[in-house]
Amino acid sequence: MDHGTVNPSMKLEDQGITGLGYIYYNRSEQELHDAAVAAGEGVTGKGGTFLVSTGKHTGRSPKDKFVVKTDNVADTIWWENNPPMDPAHFDVLYADMLEHMKGGTYNVQDLFGGADPAHRLDVRVVTELTWHGLFIRHMLRRPEASELKTFAPDFTVINCPTFKADPAKHGCRSETVIAMNFEKKLILIGGTEYAGENKKSVFTLLNYLLPEKGIMPMHCSANHAPGNPVDTAVFFGLSGTGKTTLSADPTRVLIGDDEHGWSDRGTFNFEGGCYAKTIGLDPEAEPEIYATCSMPHTVIENMVFDPDTFELDFEDDSLTANMRCAYPLNYISNASENALGGHPKNIIMLTCDAFGVLPPIARLTPAQAMYHFLSGFTSKVAGTERGVTEPEPTFSTCFGAPFMPRRPEVYGNLLRSKIASHGATCWLVNTGWTGGAYGTGSRMPIKATRALLSAALDGTLIESTFRKDVHFGFEVPVSVDGVDDGLLNPRDTWADKAGYDAQAEKLVMMFSDNFEKYVPFIDDDVKAAAIG
């Protein structure tokens, strides 16, 4: 039996998905929330939020993600980064998952990936857990009711957490599996309740499809000056580097917090919501994000709360350091109504340096920007991926390697050509440690980071006096109003100067060793910008 608004000629049965019990199409937020509580999936918190635990999977499972190696993608996938799955194994996996689903209750959400109608993707998400429907309804973009009656999905995501994969039978690694089949336009997710797999699967999909149209897909947040979309800034960075926090600047218009495209028309958000980390969330430093944690239907994942008062504990990471909230973009008062911006005027690459040796901000030449984009140096923050319990220095190319199905140079060359065409100014911003490495130093003061970004975005920073960093070659401002001069020279923040020098040299060698694999694919000016 099925319920809800749907294209009458594009129900699940028309896609060959038959034998299910109740199917609910395009329920509203309230309906999804109420049904999820009734099913015992979570509880209603203060302000009408939805509180839920995702079980043993409290982060993504990148090692369980596969791309089906069909003829149409065999020559375009970056296989070193995307483990292949044999088409025959996928067919068995799909058949077994559909058999497992028979008789069950499922929710279908028909949504758009992309705010620009010229480039959006129509995505159908089928979820076993009702609250996953609420989550993805927040995260992607919601069609009008009239559009649902003619909606025909370009791709379909099926998420069934109670299905356990069999590595021997399905050609995967464990009971958890995320399998992407570009030929059959299907994404299968099984064995994990972590909702982030839904949104990142769609992001991976767009990262593959859009470059063929000359569109740069970006793991970034974005905002623009009030009343002036031409003054757009994008913030590249992995989870935990500050993408969401720093883009939610009350003096600017928020385009989005995580995933965007850069087309010939400008910048556009892929999503319709935000997925913010809540650990240590400060009502003074991040008031708007904090406020969403008591708004109707915000999904609160893996946060400890008082069972009597439902008060959230923003410091208790006993479930995971990757506690999060998911909410629609319009919950942020200064959010863009259309989630569109101009061509980026400023490009900020966020890094979380656990070594504590990078400056809080540095200006990059276009060649240096491509170098740092391909390098993607940062630290994996605790909890974001399974098994990560403290910051781990890593190189994640394009500031999002887990979501990049094509070779890094494809994205690097797209970014470089767009910077050249539109004259963006590029900055590297360290939101990691200062005064010492992780365990000794302290996190970069967010007030200093905000002051430096404000100066970069309003154009005053570019007028500053800069010094060339002896280790990394980029330019660092000597003095900025509102920022301690000592903070701008990381060596000055260390009590142990020899320790700083040793850590800096260690990081230089890591940059050099990591970049060797890109040297055959890049131009001479980028080679000249290489560190080490």
447 is catalytic: no
244 is catalytic: yes
Q: Which of 33, 324, 406, 416 is catalytic?
A: 324
| 453 alpha-carbon distance from chain centroid | 21
Close Cβ partners of 509 (under 8 Å, ≥ 6 residues apart): 532
- What's the rounded Cα separation, in Å, for the pair 93 and 101? 12
Which run of H or E residues covers position 475?
Answer: strand 475-477
**74: exposed, middle or buried (C-beta count within 10 Å: 0-12, 13-18, 19+)?**
exposed
- What's the rounded Cα separation, in Å, for the pair 16 and 216? 34
443 is catalytic: no
Helices (H) and strands (E) in the chain, counts: 15, 29
- What's the rounded Cα separation, in Å, for the pair 325 and 523? 42
Which run of H or E residues covers position 167?
Answer: helix 167-170
Terminal alpha carbon distance of the chain: 64
Strands (E), 237-339: 253-256, 259-263, 266-269, 273-277, 299-301, 324-328
Q: Which of 33, 132, 243, 343 is catalytic?
A: 243
Close Cβ partners of 294 (under 8 Å, ≥ 6 residues apart): 45, 46, 47, 49
- What's the rounded Cα separation, in Å, for the pair 335 and 141? 14
Q: Which of 219, 406, 407, 450 is catalytic?
A: 219
Note whether 122 and 151 are within 8 A (CB).
yes
Output the 3-class SS for 510-532: HHHHHHHHHHHHCCHHHHHCCCC
60 is catalytic: yes
**Which residue type sits at 253?**
V
**Which residue type sits at 133?**
G
**102: exposed, middle or buried (C-beta count within 10 Å: 0-12, 13-18, 19+)?**
exposed
324 is catalytic: yes
**Which residue type sits at 462?**
I
Q: Which of 64, 110, 116, 258 is catalytic?
A: 258
- Indicate the length of the chain as a whole number: 532
- What's the rounded Cα separation, in Å, for the pair 211 and 78? 14
Q: Which of 57, 60, 260, 450 is catalytic?
A: 60
Please state at what angle helix 497-515 crosses helix 366-375, rounded to 10 degrees. 90
- What's the rounded Cα separation, in Å, for the pair 223 and 233? 6
Q: Which of 221, 232, 239, 434 is catalytic?
A: 239
Q: Which of 124, 137, 200, 450 is catalytic?
A: 200
Residue 1: how many other CB atoms lie within 10 Å? 8
Residue 426: how many other CB atoms lie within 10 Å? 24
- What's the rounded Cα separation, in Å, for the pair 53 and 63? 22
| 106 alpha-carbon distance from chain centroid | 26
Q: Which of 221, 244, 263, 378 is catalytic?
A: 244
258 is catalytic: yes
Q: Which residues are catalytic?
A: 60, 200, 219, 239, 243-244, 258, 324
